[in-house]
């Protein structure tokens, strides 16, 4: 079994569509640490702040702790933990990991492979990103994890574990369904006969079982796609736009581009195309949307 297969076999807690990207985020952080510092172990106290931010920004909107992946990743065979008391993690407890001065690191055989196989780090990192996160989040995750990837490296991931491959026609199908305009704000734009600034967004992320069809797709402008994937924007069952109460934006631009969407009904696709399914909307609300929906401002307020 090669390293990509081993990484793909990482045991993640998943049930009924709930996502738990804790181990992938720790691995991405560890790969970035390896790029900067080589095989130097990662002290839990040093990593806790960085991992907490990665989990807070890119994990599901539920309380968690970086102690869970730091402790549990060792069961997958390519992460080791040692403490002042010896080998092995004391517990999935921040207090215990701090008290014992726990240090984690990639296993010796993986470290050797990273040093001797050109491009392996890039392939592993791209696989972890593609298999666990929406594409619009990849650059931000790489930045926080301290990862620098070769833009020409083999992506290494074009099919899910269930064998489903990406449909290259998904974007055209979704943009056609919404007549080349943003379902949230109505933006449309063309240059030299080509659509510009519009993207096909998955409501339930493709990497986590979302299908490539209009029942799981929205045509969104680039900024609203990014905000939708970050949990700033969401949908109700009747496809009204929600805006997170956690979003802060005081400028006139933020009011016009974000706050004004609260309660506005998203545009429907043209007849003959399926609208977004309630099950995918529910998944996004539970796994991506942050906090509570903002109340729509009263008219004249």
Tens-binned pLDDT, residue by residue, of the chain (301 aa): 588 888 887 765 555 567 889 999 999 999 999 999 999 999 999 899 999 999 999 998 888 899 999 999 999 888 999 998 889 999 999 999 999 999 999 999 999 999 999 999 999 999 999 989 999 999 999 999 999 988 654 454 556 666 678 888 999 999 999 999 999 999 999 999 999 999 999 999 998 989 999 999 999 999 999 999 999 999 999 999 999 999 999 999 999 999 999 999 999 999 999 999 999 999 999 999 999 999 876 554 4
Burial status of residue 104 (CB atoms within 10 A of its CB: 0-12, 13-18, 19 or more) = buried
DSSP 48-85: HHHHHHHHHHHS-SS---THHHHHHGGGGTSEEEEETT
Q: Secondary structure of the chain: what % helix, strand, coil (to 5)?
A: 40, 15, 45
Between CA 27 and CA 147 the distance in angstroms is 11
Burial status of residue 270 (CB atoms within 10 A of its CB: 0-12, 13-18, 19 or more) = exposed
pLDDT at 154: 44
pLDDT at 301: 44
Non-local CB neighbours of 67 within 8 Å, separated by 6+ positions: 44, 91, 92, 93, 94, 96, 97
Q: Hunting for tokens 């990484």 — which residue is that?
A: 7
Instruction: Tell me which residue of 164, 120, 171 sits closest to 6, measured CA to CA.
Output: 120
Burial status of residue 96 (CB atoms within 10 A of its CB: 0-12, 13-18, 19 or more) = middle
* C-alpha distances out from residue 71 to 92, 132, 165, Å: 5, 20, 33
pLDDT at 15: 54
Q: Hunting for tokens 């709930």 — which residue is that?
A: 18
Non-local CB neighbours of 38 within 8 Å, separated by 6+ positions: none
Between CA 212 and CA 165 the distance in angstroms is 9
Task: Classify residue 159 by its DSSP letter.
Answer: B
Between CA 51 and CA 73 the distance in angstroms is 14
Taking the model in full, what pTM does it have?
Answer: 0.84
Could you tell me where the DSSP H helices lie in the chain? 3-8, 22-37, 44-58, 67-72, 94-99, 108-116, 120-132, 138-145, 170-177, 222-229, 252-257, 278-287
Residue 244 dihedral angles phi and psi, to the nearest 5°: -65, 140
What b-and-e string marks burial along 42-79, b requiring 16 or more CB atoms within 10 Å of the CB? bebeebbebbbebbeebbbeeeebbbbbbbbbbebebb
């Amino acid at each position: 079994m090669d390293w990509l297969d081993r990484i793909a076999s990482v045991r993640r807690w998943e049930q009924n569509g709930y996502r738990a990207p804790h181990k992938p985020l720790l691995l991405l952080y560890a790969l970035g640490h390896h790029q900067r510092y080589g095989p130097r172990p990662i002290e839990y106290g040093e990593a806790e702040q960085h991992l907490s931010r990665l989990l807070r920004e890119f994990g599901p909107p539920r309380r968690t702790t970086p102690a869970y992946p730091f402790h549990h990743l060792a069961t997958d065979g390519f992460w080791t933990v040692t403490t002042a008391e010896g080998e092995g993690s004391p517990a999935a407890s921040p207090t215990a990991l701090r008290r014992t001065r726990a240090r984690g690191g990639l296993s010796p055989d993986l470290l050797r492979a990273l040093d001797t196989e050109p491009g392996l780090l890039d392939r592993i990192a791209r696989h972890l990103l593609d298999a666990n996160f929406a594409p619009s989040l990849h650059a931000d995750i790489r930045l926080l994890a301290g990862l620098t990837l070769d833009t020409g490296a083999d992506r290494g991931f074009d099919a899910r574990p269930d064998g489903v491959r990406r449909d290259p026609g998904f974007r055209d199908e979704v943009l056609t369904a919404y007549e080349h305009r943003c379902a949230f704000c109505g933006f449309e734009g063309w240059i030299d006969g080509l659509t510009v600034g519009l993207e096909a967004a998955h409501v339930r992320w493709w990497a986590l079982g979302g299908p490539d069809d209009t029942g799981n797709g929205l045509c969104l402008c680039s900024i609203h796609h990014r905000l939708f994937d970050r949990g700033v924007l969401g949908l109700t069952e009747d496809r009204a736009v929600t805006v997170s109460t956690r979003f802060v934006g005081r400028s006139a631009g933020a009011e016009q581009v974000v706050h004004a969407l609260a309660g506005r009904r998203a545009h429907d696709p043209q007849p003959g195309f399926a609208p977004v399914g309630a099950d995918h909307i529910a998944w996004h609300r539970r796994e991506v949307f942050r906090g509570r929906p903002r109340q729509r401002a009263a008219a004249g307020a």
